[in-house]
Amino acid sequence: MTILQLLLHALLISDAYGKLSEIARRGGYSKRTLEDVHQRKLNERALNNTELQYYSNDTAKYFVESLPEIPQNFLTEMYSGLIPIDLSNASRALFFVFQPRVGPPVDEVTIWLNGGPGCSSLEGFFQENGLIQWTWGQFDPTTNPYSWVNLTNMLWVEQPVGTGFSIGTPTATSEEDIAADFVKFFKNFQEIFGIKNYKIFVTGESYSGRYVPYIANAMLDLDDTRYYDVGGILVYDPCIGSFNYQNDITVYPFIEKNNNVLNLNQSYLATLAALDESCGFASFREQYMSFPPNGTQPVLYENCTANPECCTWDSVYDAAYDPNPCFNVYEIGLQCPLLGDVLGYPTDLQLSYPSQPVYFNRTDVKLAMHAPLYVDWLECAPNPVFIGDGGPEGEGDTSADPIQKVLPRVIEATNRVLIANGDLDLEIITNATLLAIQNMTWNGALGFQSEPATPIDIKLPDLQYQSLFSSQGFDGLDAHQGIMGVQHYERGLMFAETYLSGHMEPQFQPRSSYRHLQWVLGRIEAL
């Protein structure tokens, strides 16, 4: 079958399936009828699939023919569904989306994990670095010209167990537990898709600053390059150190710098400044936020019950809602109104408009993606995904901070680790991340010896809005972005500070993030 015939076949199926989906939403057909149609559609795939790189008898059941409300020309080869952690026990399985590279094939897989803990990596797929972009405030989906699928084979995984569509009862008490589950799942994924001897890159953001180094470390432990040849990792606005106390230590300078946006009153700022001194945060920064570092940082324990006034980050978070009820801790520049979100989570507040229900919880979407119909999909899990007691971040995850052991090990093994932080992120502050780096020893030295200062000049063209600018006579106003951050590389670790970005960097600054991935993949040597 030719490519044109393939497209026509898919369009006809998509149109028929879309009509049935709409009838079902109106109550005309049952879920069982939709399931029958969907299965029949898969059974009718008598296609010559030489154009599809990973389509086979083993992968056919995961192939995504179409997605409701997504134009067919937005879709490329795509697979999704559940793969068991242990093939002998289908009751514990992780949900994935896999999209091969658009362009010449590459023998590599780049894994993306969202954080939480318990937040879905379908957020990354749909709003950050996937080919389809349907983010806050968008009435309709668009394509993402800076999708990472343009560079590499992308695998988004909902993990640990208890996250998104993934099924099973959470049992993990540590990062070692979830890493052990992940490497089993990942080998099963590779066996199904005929993947072997590929370079593996592990990426993510936020709490996955813990997931990613531990998973990469577990892969290195297995010493099997057929399945686990780790090439590097990338983490955005990551939880790599004790971010709770690091945020307290760095929040006052952050507020000083950004109060033109936050608009906290002067009396509150004076109180915050006094606490910055009396709680010892100012002196801590003076001593340890230095390049090179002045020794290993002492351990601080946050005790908001015994010493609540020194939990300054919590205080700032609460105060920020007074002048701006639509305050977004992940991107402090956003104002009211609250933007609609097809994933239902535009800020720390959950919000869905009646005309735009949560996309991945729709029956027609679940069927299209081979997701379990009985799972009530939420972007972030309502119940804990770790069942331990306490832990460094109080999440029931008892593993040590990554800077203690696993992150240095991954840096030393790959010399391709990138840590980036967005300047408009209050959830994990840029200087808090730098403070963690300055307390980490790798490749024979503690921290960075020089302060990050080399500019990042983003010269990638505007591919998102160029035609709109041109059609309305604004040619040239959307030139290359220019200086969008600073970078610094030492001993296998690249740090990037990203200007005009919040927590979800591929969403807020996709051109910068595209460069970040190019570096991690070894395509470029500087940002």
Question: Which pair of tokens denotes residue 145?
Answer: 């010209």
Q: Rounded CA gap, 328 and 317, in Å?
A: 9
Q: Which residues sit opposite 96 in a β-bridge?
A: 81, 157
CA-nearest of 313, 335, 336, 295 to 439 is 295
Question: Which pair of tokens denotes residue 195?
Answer: 């993947």
Bond preceding residue 117 cis, omega within 30 of 0: yes
Q: Is 9 among the residues known to form the active site?
A: no
DSSP 415-448: S-EEEEEETT-SSS-HHHHHHHHTT-EETTEES-
Pairing of strands 132-133, 153-158: unpaired
Question: Which pair of tokens denotes residue 467?
Answer: 């035609």
Q: Is 73 helix (H, G, I), strand (E, B) or coil?
A: helix
Q: What does residue 110 show for φ and ψ, rounded to 5 degrees?
A: -110, 120
315 backbone φψ class: left, alpha, beta (φ>0; ψ -120 to 50): alpha
Q: Is 109 helix (H, G, I), strand (E, B) or coil?
A: strand
Question: Which pair of tokens denotes residue 474?
Answer: 């604004």
Q: Rounded CA gap, 132 and 127, in Å?
A: 8
Question: 237, 341, 364, 425: which one is catalytic?
Answer: 425
Q: Rounded CA gap, 90 and 60, in Å?
A: 18
CA-nearest of 359, 334, 383, 399 to 116 is 383
Angle at the Cα of 368 (from 49 to 343), degrees rounded to 5? 130
Question: 38, 370, 488, 503: which one is catalytic?
Answer: 503
Q: Rounded CA gap, 96 and 51, in Å?
A: 22
Contact assessment for residue 429 and residue 254, using Cβ atoms and an 8 Å cutoff: yes
Q: Which residues sit opposite 485 in a β-bridge?
A: 498
Based on C-alpha coordinates, what's the Rg of the chain? 23
Q: Is 425 among the residues known to form the active site?
A: yes
Angle between helices 175-193 and 208-222 (to 10 degrees): 60
Q: Is 471 among the residues known to form the active site?
A: no
Contact assessment for residue 501 and residue 512, using Cβ atoms and an 8 Å cutoff: yes
What is residue 119's DSSP assignment?
B
Residues recognised as catalytic: 206, 425, 503
